[in-house]
Amino acid sequence: MTISVYSKPSCVQCTATKKALERAELEFQIFDVTEDQDAYDTVMKLGYLQAPVVIAGDEHWSGFQPDRIAALAERAAS
């Protein structure tokens, strides 16, 4: 499963999300919405106004959500 994190600099929730994904040993790509217009457009098309936005397969969410990251880790381990 591909995991993409749409982030911005100096974002506490973005940093927490990236650290949680690293602790869960999940591979992910980071896109900076302040520098990448395509990344910004992707987030806007999904209707999100808050960073980070995480897209994992067909699932996506905004903000730091450790329960969802744990669920991803559990599925990846299966």
Q: How many helices (H) and strands (E) does the chain have?
A: 3, 4
pLDDT at residue 77, as a whole number: 86
> Average pLDDT by consecutive 10-residue portion of the chain (78 residues)?
95 97 96 97 96 96 97 90
The residue assigned the tokens 């903000």 is 63
pLDDT at residue 76, as a whole number: 87
pLDDT at residue 49, as a whole number: 93
Q: How many residues does the chain have?
A: 78
